[in-house]
Each structure stands twice: as structure tokens, then as C-alpha cells.
Amino acid sequence: MLAYDDLKGSEGRRVWYRPPRYDASRLFPGRPPRVRLRTRSYLLQNISLSGVAAVSKDTSMAPPDVGEVLPLQIEQGGLTIFESSARVCRAEQTVFGSKVALKLVDGFVDFDRLLNRNAQAQIATRTWSYSQATEKVAAEYRAFCADVLSLLRSHNAILNGNKQTAAGQLHHEFDMEGAYRACESQLLPEWRTLWRSGNDFARAAMGDREIREATKTMTELVLTPEMRLGAIWDRSYAKPMGYPGDFQIMNQVYDWDRRGSSVYEMLMHRLGLEVAECIKTRMEVVQERIAETVFAEGRERPARIMSLGCGPAREVELFLKGVCNTDGLADFTLIDQEEDALRYASEKTYPQLLRLSSRYSLQCLNMSFTDILRGTSGLNTLPPQDLIYSVGLLDYLTDRRAMGLVHRLYDQLAPDGLLIIGNMNETGLSNLWPMEFLTDWTLEYRDEAQMLRWAETLDAAARWTECERTGRVRLLFVKKPA
């Protein structure tokens, strides 16, 4: 038993107690409620006794003004489970949509009541919502979802049956490695066939908003829970950092590890890696261009290389690991709006920078992508760059914004500099169905003509596109005159 003298309080700023803030995806597993502010609809991100934060992936919807007091409703399945007035404390428009934080004015959150009303709303709307969703979904797509689920679960049934048999016969140890390899070799070709068919269904649904949303709703009810047994699917759908495609998802692809407590969970993760492989292969293309830039002849100063939306910057880490301490000179600038990504990149590259003495340097800039798009980030204070690349950001931008960013980055190039822009490619085996319909991860898919238009008015020495090895990411190259 502790004496009163042994009980410790907090120190520093933590002595000011604040009610805990709960992540909505954990507080409401399966389907977090939505927040309605008059005609604006947001997805609840987190909630506390006295306030809420919410996000919208609709990039065309402007957030409310800071200080504005609005009627706030929290809804589950179209039914209101909480009401209050709320004052806007923070509002931000980002490339991924808008974010808003609100403080309740004339109420507070009774969590017991809120959770009970959420459960009641889910029960009340379950039959209605499913029937409403499925009536707009093509019958062929419903059958397709059943085929996908049957394929996956048939493998799980075989694995479970053999595991139980092994355990029952003299406690024989189940060969997880052999079972994984056998399933992987058979499942991947079947998965690719279904994936291509899923893309065909997805394209047919994309032109009608109601049909698209109904098809996505059904997919998330029927298939997404099964896929989320795989680590990469789970994180992609949950979006724990509040936006899709965070640096930890990138690292899962780069590491290509088996993740999961069972063979089946590892297989689900493997299917996700198959979809996301283009993230790794586009990084390999960039890594080669970094080497070409650093070792180009005729430059009397260090090469200047900038990455916008750098994430974990594994291409820089891998390049530096392969460099001898007598080769090349370069100054890297990594830019990201996520501080954790920059911390990771800095920690991973630092040992290599020490090994290479003063031949290489690296600086990390924590800048808002939205400020960069607006031209208010101070990006133009950097010296002209020999290589600039951004291979995962423009997927989220409209054509107008993408073209504006391409022009802004082109202006940052030194003479004879190279700009590389990546975008998800419009192709038969694109990532449309797995990302948009299974994980609610919305991107813009573009072809060669669309990407070339971004650079058609630039005074470029050359502009062209290439695809990385999978063909699912197209890269635009723009060369500045010497």
C-alpha cells in the first residue's frame, strides 16, 4: 500500500488536467459515426468530454470559419445520437480534404449514453442500410463478392483443417512455412484475376455517385472485414494518423515482411503487399535517378536533391548505404507534413551521413502540403535543385492543383535539372478496386496524356512518361534546359 507521500502528480504543462480524447475508430469499431455541421458532413476522428475533431476527404468542401458557432450532430446510419452547439476552434483545408476541431458550447459528451445510442442506431439501421445498399448494387457484383469471399475462406478452411489434424496426431507440429508457400503460389494468380474483374466492376460504378457509394458500402460490409485480417489492409482502412498512405504503410511495403499470428493472416497481408508493390518499385526508379544525379559529370558542387512528400525516404537511406565514403557529393532536402515521417527518415539516414563524413548532408522540412500548393510555404527560399521528385502526393490532387504544383516545382529546378512526378496509372490492373472499394482510399488515376498536359506549357528541354515495373504507377519526367 502506498502512503500519501508516495503518490505523485504530474509535472510541467501536464499538471493542467485535460479530459482524455478517444480515437473514434477504437471507440466505435467497425463504423465510426459522422459529424454533421449544417450541410457539411465529416467523419468523426476523435472525441472528448467537451469537444470533437472530424475530417472530410471532399477537397472541394471549404471548412467553416474559426470562431463560428454551429449546430453539431453526431449521426450513425442517418440517425442522430448526439446534439449540441459547437464553436470551431481549428479548421484546415489540406490536399486530403478538410479537418475541423470543435468545442461544445451548451453540452457535454456522456460516453455511456453515446455508446448505447450508437449501438441502438446500428441495430435499427442494419437491415435497412444493407437492403438500401444492395438494391443499387449490380447483381453480378454481389455474386463477385461472394466468389472472392469463398476463395479466401476456402484457403482458411484448408489451413485450419490441416492444423487441427497435425495437432491431433501425436502432437505433430504444423508446417506453417510449407503451408504458407503452398497457399501463396496458388492464391496470388487467382487473386490477380479477381482483382482485374473488381476493377471492371469499379469503373462501371464510378460514374454514378449513388451506385458508387452503395457498391463501396456493400464491399466494406462483406469483404473489407476479411481483408483487414491482413496488417496492411487494416491500417489502410483504419487510417490511424487521420489520412491515407501514411509512412508506416509505406514501410510495410518496403520491408515486405510476413505479418500476422496465423498463416491466413499472413496471406491476407501478402495480398495487400501485391496490390501495393508499385510503391516499392516506384521508389526503386527514384533511387536510380538519385544515383545518376549524384554521379553526373561536370558538376563542381554537391548535387541538390529534394523530395516532396518524402514519407520514410527509404530511397535516400538505401542510396546512402550503397555509397563509398569517397564517392559523390549531395545535399538532400526532405519535405513532409508528418513530423513522425521526418523523424524516421532522419534517424535512419543519420548513421550513413556520419559514415560518409561531410560529403553528404540532409535537412528535413516540416511543411504543410496545402501551404506549398498556395505558394506560402517558403519553398522558393531553397537553392535551385538538380533533382526534385514527388511520387505519392499528386494522386490526391485535382488536375488544376496538380498542374500548379508541377509548375511550382519546375521553377525550383537548376539548369539541366530533372523533375519526377508519380501518379497512379490508369490501367487494367490498376489499384482502383482494392484501394477505393476495399479500403476507402481515394486517388486520382491518370494516363500518359493527362500527365503530359501538366508540363505542356513549360519551356522544358524534354518531357516524357515511364511506368515502373508493375505498370501501376506512371512517372512524368520533365527536363530543364541546360
Q: Is the CB of residue 109 less than 8 Å from the CB of residue 82?
A: yes
Rounded to the nearest integer, the mean pLDDT of the chain is 90
Q: What is the pLDDT of residues 377-395, one digit of tens each?
A: 888 899 999 999 999 999 9
pLDDT at residue number 131? 64
pLDDT at residue number 171? 65
Same fold, 15-134 and 277-479: no
Range scoring the smallest mean pLDDT among 21-25, 99-103, 152-156, 433-437: 21-25
Read off the pLDDT of each residue in 416-422 and give the average, rounded to a whole number: 98
pLDDT at residue number 94? 76
Read off the pLDDT of each residue in 90-100 and give the average, rounded to a whole number: 82
Q: What is the pLDDT of residues 156-187, one digit of tens each?
A: 998 888 777 766 665 667 788 888 999 999 99
Helix, strand, or coil (residue 365): strand
Asked if pLDDT for residue 328 goes beyond 90, the answer is: yes
CATH superfamily of the 15-134 domain: predicted glycosyltransferase like domains (2.40.10.220)
pLDDT band at 39 (very low <50, low <70, confident <90, very high): confident
DSSP 402-455: HHHHHHHHHHTEEEEEEEEEEEEB-STT-SIIIIIIIS------B-HHHHHHTT
Cell numbers describing residue 474: 506512371
C-alpha pair distances (Å), 51 with each of 78, 83, 410: 21, 12, 43
Read off the pLDDT of each residue in 276-300 and give the average, rounded to a whole number: 96
Asked if pLDDT for residue 8 goes beyond 80, the answer is: no
Percent of the chain at pLDDT exceeding 90: 70
Q: What is the pLDDT of residues 217-273, one digit of tens each?
A: 899 989 999 999 999 999 999 888 878 899 999 999 999 999 999 999 999 999 999
- Strands across the sheet with 473-479, in order? 360-366, 330-336, 303-308, 385-390, 413-424, 473-479, 462-467
In degrees, rounded to 5, the angle at the alpha carbon of residue 237 between the alpha carbons of residues 83 and 119 is: 35
pLDDT at residue number 13? 65
The overall pTM is greater than 0.75: yes
pLDDT at residue number 320? 97
pLDDT at residue number 235? 95
Q: Is the CB of residue 62 less than 8 Å from the CB of residue 49?
A: no
- Domain ranges, ordered by start, for the chain: 15-134, 136-275, 277-479
Phi, psi of 7 (to 5 degrees): -80, 125
First-last CA distance in the chain = 76
Read off the pLDDT of each residue in 12-30 and give the average, rounded to a whole number: 77
pLDDT at residue number 11? 67
Range scoring the smallest mean pLDDT among 21-30, 63-72, 277-286: 21-30
Residues 431 and 424: their CA atoms lie apart, in Å, by 8
Give me the CATH topology for the region 277-479.
Rossmann fold (3.40.50)
pLDDT band at 147 (very low <50, low <70, confident <90, very high): very high
Q: What is the pLDDT of residues 329-368, one digit of tens each?
A: 999 999 999 999 999 999 999 999 999 988 999 999 999 8
